[in-house]
Amino acid sequence: MHFSISPPATMPGLQARIDGKTKPPGSLGQLERLALQIGQVQQSLSPSLDHPHLLVFAGDHGAARAGVSAYPQEVTWQMVENFLAGGAAINVFARHNGLQLQVIDAGVAHDFGARDGLVDAKIAFGTHNAIEQAAMSAAERDLALARGAAIARGLADQGCRVMAFGEMGIGNTAAASLLTQQLTGAPLADCVGRGTGLDTVGLARKRTLLAQAVGRAALPPDADALLVLAEFGGFEMAMMAGAMLAAAERGILLLIDGFIVTSALLVATAIAPSLRDYCIFCHRSAEPGHVVQLQALQAEPLLDLGLCLGEGTGAALAWPLVRAAAAFLNEMASFASAGVSGQA
C-alpha cells in the first residue's frame, strides 16, 4: 500500500498574519506555533476546522490472556458497549467539546452483530499471543491498514478537516511497549509501564513476558516497521496507522492522543516520515513509554495532566486549544485593522 504525503509547504504571509495581531510577537506562546501549523497543513491564511471526528479503534490482544493486564480481556467488549451507550469518559468529553465520535471494531473478541454507531471493520477476534508467535499475519496487517485508510478517506469525502484518534483494547499497552522498543531502540524497561493499574508484582511479570516476546521475534534493530507491526501490534493499531496515513494524504489535521495512539504513529511515520508535520500531540501520558515516543518524534505535547486512560481523552481535552489557535488567527484584529500602534 502506497501513500503520497509531502511536507506542508511554507505558507506565504502566514507568519506575518500571526505576528500582525494585536499582541506582542510570540505572546500567545504555543498557540502561535499551533496556528502556524494549522495554516500550513491546510495551506490557508484562514483555516477551518470543519466536521471534526474522534475515532476510537477497539481490538483485543492475545497476550492479555498471558497476564500482561490487570483486567480480563472481556473488558474490551464491555467498554465498547459503554461507548455505544454514551457512558464512557470519551463520550462525555467528545459531547462537551463538539467532536463527532465514531467507534470502530478493528478486532474485538466478541460478536456485536449489526449495531447503530459501531463500524464493523473486524479483522479477526483478537490477535495471536505475541509472546508465543506473531500477533498477526502480513495479510491481516495489510487488511487492517487498508480498512483504516478507507475509513479516513470516507470521512475526508464528507468534509472532515480534523481527525482525532483514540483506542480501546485490554493488553494494548503491552503491544505498544513492544512497538516502541523496536522502533525507537530504547531499552524495553523504559517502554513498559503499569498500563491499567498493575501492582509491582504484575509490572515485573509484564516486563518478563515482554522480554520473552522480544527474544522470540529476534528482530534486527533496523527491522521494517510493517514487520514489527505484524509481530507485536494490534489490529486497532494497524487500522489507526492506515487511517493516519490516508488522512494526512488528504491534508487532514491529526490529533494524537497518548501511548497507544503514538505507537501506531511510530509505525505510520516510519512508512511516511512527512506524516509527522500533520500531527498535533495533545498530551503527555503518565505511561513511561510515551516519553520515549515523544522524544523520538521530537514532539512537545499541549497538555500534561497525568492522564493514562486512553480512549482519545487527551485529544478531546486538547481540542479546545486547537480551536482557540485557529480562532485567534481568523478573528483577532490586526494592528492595522484595530488602529493600534505597533512596536516602535
Checking if the pLDDT of 26 tops 90, the result is yes
C-alpha separations of 165 from 90, 101, 274, 295 in Å = 11, 10, 18, 20
DSSP character for 66?
G
The answer to whether residues 276 and 248 touch, using CB atoms and an 8 Å cutoff, is no
The cell for 258 is: 497518548
How confident is residue 20, by pLDDT bands cut at 50, 70 and 90?
very high
DSSP character for 333?
P
pLDDT tens track for 87-99: 999 999 999 999 9
SS3 assignment, position 14: helix
pLDDT value at position 309?
A: 94
Query: What domains can you pick out in the chain, each with its CATH number?
Result: 53-328 (3.40.50.10210)
Checking if the pLDDT of 2 tops 90, the result is no
Question: Which residue of the set 32, 167, 311, 331 is catalytic?
Answer: 311
Closest CA to 52 of 162, 144, 146, 196: 162
* Amino acid present at 158: Q
pLDDT tens track for 262-311: 999 999 999 999 999 999 999 999 999 999 999 999 999 999 999 999 99
Mean model confidence pLDDT for the chain: 95
pLDDT tens track for 57-73: 999 999 998 888 888 99
Active site residue 300: no
